[in-house]
Amino acid sequence: MSLPYFNCLIVDKFPYCYSKLNRVKYSRAHLFEVDIIILHKNLRLEDNSALFYGSLNQNYKIIYVYDSHYWSVDGRSPRQFSFLLDCLKEVQSNLKELNSSLEIFEGSYQDLSDFIEINYPHSKIHLNHSTDTSYYRNQISKFKDTFKGSTRLKVYEDFGIQTEHFDRDRWSFDWNKQMRKRLHDLPKSNLFDQSKDLMEFDCFLDRSKKNIQKGFQQGGTKAANRLLTSFFETRSEGYSKKMSSPHEAEESCSRLSPHIAFGSISIREIYQKLEAHYPQSNFKKDLYSFRKRLYWHCHFIQKLETEPAIEFNSMHSMCDDLRPLENKEFIDRWINGETGFPFMDACMLYLREKGWINFRMRAMIMSFASYNLWQPWQSTSPLLGELFVDYEPGIHIPQVQMQSGVTGINLPRIYSVNKQSSDQDPEAKWIKQIIPTLNDIDPKKIHSADLHTTYISPVVDLKESSKYARDTIWSIRKGDEFKKIARSVYHKHGSRKRS
């Protein structure tokens, strides 16, 4: 996903930017007191701190940083990039009404800081905080260091994450307080025509077409609001039960997860609309369950924010040596839906096609990889992340660790693929829809994976692999040292009573 790199230089004491497309000379007026707004996630105009505050002087420039390396590592994939483009298209369309536009800077944040220092030395810079993987963290940390000691850089906190003065005992109180704050107004119109010294969005979109993957959820605030409205009015009926079934969840879940991940709608706006709708709803039990998941969303992201090292290391340090060996064949069969267990394979094939699957099935998929296949979660986590359009590292990584039994504070839960198969799809109708070669097979044989030559041979013995995993996990959990470290993990990451 590489695009032509943009370079900057000084000619005749005026900064220039050049590419194969254009060469634009700046006017001196734009070198002073320009507000630069940087987008990473939070791809919306509504309730966007950086956009709102950055627009107050009505002389601003909006930049999305496209870093090809960022989009090639740590669980990123073209299906996510396609959703991002949907969001950016809508942002660009809405900005035109404000006499503004979106520009694309290609390169790293270090490159961007150099560009700003050379071309906009007196600018104020606005960006929203984002909890992300190591590459982004390192990049944004260096970017911040460039402006350390000055008041030029403004970083705004995102939803309910504590970025400073971390205190788990106050976390719930702070989250609720943040959710109840007034939503930010739309950004103000731009009164000055900014020089287009970077790639214009339409050009970026045109050059990105070869990377677009169709058939997945549509991005953008309008799509998010349509989903929210239909969920509140009709689809949430039975949500608290239907969310467990892969075939019912597709319609009964809110399906807002990618919109929250990319910020095409703010979690605070969702919360406040939920609070307004709740009193007259006929589905209060279901919406109460949904509200809890808004809380859990931020609770899990806080774990990665507090301890970035969990991207690579188990929360409980004694668990990192549990699975030292990687079996490439096992991992390939797992990620491609060829394990020999029909329900497991159907879930993976569905995920590969749709870019989404419900939470219970995500947990089962990861449990199977970590317990039954006994593969290191560090190897399987990014591969699985690539399949999710709604990939959110702050949720994905802690959940991967939870389903792998390496947090030390959550009881190991080994999902039985056979039991989930019979519980969630008793007649095997959903499985047969996804794997038509099983259409004439007795559901009981499908659930038990007792198919002999009719289907792929099981990659492992389910009972034996489950027993080995259970015995091994529990053998290390019994010692005093394990319990001592687990208490420390709980103090840092454990959930407290909600306020």
pLDDT at 95 exceeding the cut of 90: yes
Average pLDDT, the chain: 92
Query: What mean pLDDT comes out for the span 287-314?
Result: 96
**pLDDT at residue 10 greater than cutoff 60:** no
Class of domain 317-493: mainly alpha
Q: What is the DSSP letter of 125?
A: E
Domain ranges of the chain: 7-208, 221-305, 317-493
262 with 84: CB under 8 angstroms? yes
Q: How far apart are CA 135 and CA 360, in angstroms?
A: 29
The Cα–Cα gap between 346 and 434 comes to 6
Q: H or E element: which one contains 383?
A: helix 377-387
221-305 CATH fold? 1.25.40
Q: What band does 192 get if pLDDT is binned at 50, 70 and 90? A: confident
- Give mean pLDDT, residues 399-405: 97
* pLDDT of res. 436: 98
Confidence grade of residue 497 (pLDDT, cut at 50, 70, 90) = low
∠ at Cα 215 (231, 386), nearest 5°?
90
In sequence order, the 6+-apart residues with CB closer than 8 A to the CB of 344 are: 337, 364, 365, 368, 417, 421
Report the alpha-carbon distance of residue 23 to residue 157 in Å, rounded: 36
Residues 6+ apart with CB under 8 A from 125: 35, 36, 38, 116, 147, 152, 153, 154
**Which one is predicted more confidently, 16 or 256?**
256
Which range (20-24, 87-91, 207-211) has the least confidence?
20-24
CA–CA distance, 310 with 222 (Å, rounded to integer): 35
- Please provide residue 464's backbone torsions phi and psi, each rounded to the nearest 5 degrees: -65, -45
**CA–CA distance, 251 with 234 (Å, rounded to integer):** 10
Query: Please, are residues 273 and 133 in contact by the beta-carbon 8 Å criterion?
Result: no
User: Is residue 217 over pLDDT 60?
Assistant: yes
DSSP codes joined into one string, 75-109:
T--HHHHHHHHHHHHHHHHHHHTTT--EEEEES-H
Q: With residue 360 as reference, give the H or E element that holds it.
A: helix 359-367
Kindly indicate the confidence band of residue 295, based on its pLDDT and cuts at 50, 70 and 90: very high
Q: What angle do CA 297, 212, 332 make, to 5 degrees?
A: 70
Q: 498: pLDDT confidence band, cut at 50, 70 and 90? A: low
Residue 23: band (very low, low, confident or very high) from pLDDT cuts 50, 70, 90 = very low
Locate 164 and state its tokens. 């400073």
Fold agreement (7-208, 317-493): no
Closest CA to 408 of 419, 398, 393: 398
Contact 127, 387 (CB under 8 A): no
Contact 243, 202 (CB under 8 A): no
Looking at residue 164, its pLDDT comes to 86
Q: Which CATH superfamily is domain 7-208 in?
A: HUPs (3.40.50.620)
Residues near 82 by beta carbon (within 8 Å), at least 6 away in sequence: 211, 212, 213, 214, 216, 219
Residue 4 has pLDDT above 70, yes or no: no
Question: What is the arithmetic mean of pLDDT over 12-20?
Answer: 33
- Tell me the C-alpha distance between 488 and 268, whole Å: 31
Q: Would you state the pLDDT for residue 166? A: 87
Q: Is pLDDT of 56 > 90?
A: yes
Give tens-digit pLDDT for 405-446: 999 999 999 999 999 999 999 999 999 999 999 999 999 999
The DSSP-derived string for 198-254 is SEEHHHHHHHHGGG---SSPPPSHHHHHHHHHHIIIIITTTHHHHTTSHHHHHHHS-
Is it the case that residue 258 has pLDDT exceeding 70? yes
pTM above 0.75, yes or no: yes
- Percent pLDDT > 70 in the chain is 93
Residue 38 — left, alpha, or beta (φ > 0 → left; ψ -120 to 50 → alpha)? Answer: beta
Q: What is the mean pLDDT of residues 39-58?
A: 97
Q: Work out the average pLDDT over 358-381.
A: 98
